[in-house]
Amino acid sequence: MKCIINRRAEFSASHRYCLSELTEADNYRLFGACSRFPGHGHNYELYVSLEGELDEYGMVENLSTVKKVIKQEVTSQLNYSHLNDVWSEFQDTLPTTENIARIIWQKLAPHLSLVNIKLYEHPQLWADYQGQGMEASLTVKTHFSAAHRLASPKLSLEENTKIYGKCARTHGHGHNYHLEVSVVGEIDSRTGMLVDLGALQKVIDDYVVEPFDHTFLNKDIPYFAEVVPTAENIALHIANLLRSPIQQLGAELDKVKLIESPNNSCEIYCRSRGSQNSNNTVTKELEPAIAI
């Protein structure tokens, strides 16, 4: 039986997004503040995932060996460095989060049985890479606050209460929702980006955060006049709102995760349920889980 294990590591480094063939003004238009000289820094958090059979000692891999390899091949070289200069790979392709994850995979793959590299640039932005050429995923985390009531107008208060409990109370209740949007795309061989991050964040703000924030979902969002705003249905609606504009940015919506509370969250996997992929799955709109 195969098992996946994860090893965490961290490093602090600076980087700059700047293409030598562009003027300072053009670099700023393309990369914004990230193009400023001499660069900026992050406390990176790295998760290395390995897969394998358990050996006679009950291990996939000796963690002491894993720790040594990660330090030798990655963190000792990157820690307190300027990424643009430390590895030759970043001369041709900029050290974006997704591209750093890709190169870390290349450094570790000869030594470890990798299944995923997850790299956090900060808690609201991270990349995953699984050894698939130039393809990677990027996740943006954001939040909004909203109220909702779980109740169908076709049912009585007593009937709704049997289904939804306290969530059916007449005046509703609120949550601080945390939203994670993951997109997949090909890393550009020059910019190191799979999508324009500023444009992606603007799409999420324009289509979700601004319209949803500080609203009563049942009354202020027309869609939820017909659909009960459970966490599942909210996530499905967000996925449908974001799929097309993200596609227009040249990426593909991969997953929407909505965290309603520390005890309640849901995930919508968009590629496997209707978006065009390598298996030629037919594109269709995601359907609500609970309609009225």
Q: Mind telling me the catalytic residues?
A: 167, 214, 260
Cα–Cα distance measured from residue 166 to residue 172, given in angstroms and rounded to the nearest whole number: 9
Q: Give the Cα separation of 252 and 261 in Å (integer).
A: 27
Decide: 49 and 5 in contact? Cβ < 8 Å.
yes
DSSP 133-164: TTEEEEEEEEEEEEEE----TTS-HHHHHHHH
Q: Computed over its alpha carbons, how large is the radius of gyration of the chain?
A: 22
What's the token pair of residue 202?
Answer: 């603007």
Pairing relation of β-strands 114-122 and 125-129? Answer: antiparallel
